[in-house]
Amino acid sequence: MTNGTHTWRVSYQRTVEYEVANCPNLFHPQNDALLSVGKRENTRRFVVVDSNIEKYYSTELRDYFNYHKIDAKIITFHGGEENKSLESYLWILRELDAFPINRRDEPIIAIGGGVLTDVAGFVASSYRRGVPHIKIPTTLMGYIDASVGIKTGINFNGHKNRLGSFEPPKKVFLDRTFLKTLPKRHILNGVCEILKLAVIKDFTLFELLEWHGTECVDSKFQDDFGALILNHSVAGMIEELQPNLFEENLARKVDFGHTFSYGLETLHETQLLHGEAVLIDMAISTILAAERNLLSKKELKRIFDLIAKLGIVLHVDLVTPELLWDTLEERTYHRNGLQRVPLPDGIGKCIFVNDVKFEEIQSACKILKNWTVINDTVYEYRS
């Protein structure tokens, strides 16, 4: 090395690899899935569990760790968007710090909905610069979306997911029996994300929803078609996320329904669940696509009819062109200066556009408000 300036290049590649696995009866003492990561002897586990899961599985959960002679600290977390906060995050961190786990082989176990796994994942990624974690989703939203990828986060300063990280879990265990106790509104909330995948990438999934969606909603996905639709959805989600885990590419098909929804769910946080806001966005985006002749009128009606058949309510009253436009501008900034709005060009396919105009949104809002549900089963356009 000579005197003077020099440039050092640091290069390191980190492999990301984790399993997302169907795993029924997770709390059965003979099932060692929960212990498949980390030490098994003389060990501890920090477990964050949703209060509704605690309500139904408190004894089984405690018996499980007692049976395996594991010193477990189980803390109860209340779901709901209002708890995806800095306060909740700090509270978990304090509880964790009072029960100092081994940094490498005593993973945090997160059992709950998307709010819980997002917050606990963020804790895992930031505590002592990162400790391992396992996710067990217990809502449909968590099962097919929130727990499958590597994004963590909390809402901050009036913005959704303003703080967060990309933190791969060690494992994700899917047990659909948790969905048995989930209220219908939250089942439908998750169905909105399944519909998203169907419309932009999976025509077979769309047909499965048309043929069996209603019975799956009624059975809370406990029947055979429920299993099929769930597996299709998880596989589709992973297929989209895997090549772009860290979102280097900002044009993402899975952002269908996630452009205009951002402003809607921020403004109407107490009224709209995430999936319900996504549904409104999908309806607007689908109309935009039809008005651009990307989608035929027949296909547009087919999508609206499926929404009606599944029994999902479209809260059109909350939609204004101004709100949608402001949100689009914010998302354009978030997407590095281009709109990158995913629009379906046929059912099961999608393109990205960067030139949506305010007038188009105005007209799409007007059209949306003219679609009316008839007999709870189909939509009719009434101008």
Ligand X SMILES: NC(=O)c1ccc[n+]([C@@H]2O[C@H](COP(=O)([O-])OP(=O)(O)OC[C@H]3O[C@@H](n4cnc5c(N)ncnc54)[C@H](O)[C@@H]3O)[C@@H](O)[C@H]2O)c1
- Which residues sit at the interface with ligand X, rule CB under 6 A? 50-53, 79-81, 84, 112-116, 118, 138-139, 141-142, 145-146, 149, 151, 178, 181-182, 186, 189, 274
Please state the closest distance from residue 380 (CB atom) to ligand X, in A.
30
d(CA 70, CA 86): 30
Please state the closest distance from residue 146 (CB atom) to ligand X, in A.
4
Please state the closest distance from residue 166 (CB atom) to ligand X, in A.
10
Please state the closest distance from residue 253 (CB atom) to ligand X, in A.
14
CB 188 within 8 A of CB 310: yes
d(CA 157, CA 46): 28
* Residue closer to ligand X, measured from CB, 149 or 361: 149
d(CA 273, CA 261): 10
* Residue closer to ligand X, measured from CB, 107 or 149: 149
* Residue closer to ligand X, measured from CB, 151 or 331: 151
* Residue closer to ligand X, measured from CB, 96 or 115: 115
DSSP assignment of 191-256: HHHHHHHHHHH-HHHHHHHHHHHHHHHHHTT-SHHHHHHHHHHHHHHHHHHGGGTT--S---GGGT
Amino acid at 168: P
d(CA 194, CA 250): 21
CB 288 within 8 A of CB 319: no
* Residue closer to ligand X, measured from CB, 52 or 327: 52
Q: Which of 135, 151, 201, 220 is catalytic?
A: 151
Pair type for strands 133-137 and 108-112: parallel
Which two three-digit tokens encode residue 301?
């009606």
Amino acid at 334: H
Please state the closest distance from residue 257 (CB atom) to ligand X, in A.
11
Is 73 a catalytic site residue?
no
CB 283 within 8 A of CB 327: no
Please state the closest distance from residue 112 (CB atom) to ligand X, in A.
6
* Residue closer to ligand X, measured from CB, 38 or 149: 149
Looking at residue 336, the DSSP 8-state letter turns out to be T
- Residue 280, SS3 per DSSP: helix
Q: 159 pairs with which residues across the strands?
A: 156
- Could you tell me which residues come within 8 angstroms of residue 156 by beta carbon, excluding any fewer than 6 positions away? 85, 86, 162, 163
Q: Which residues are catalytic?
A: 151
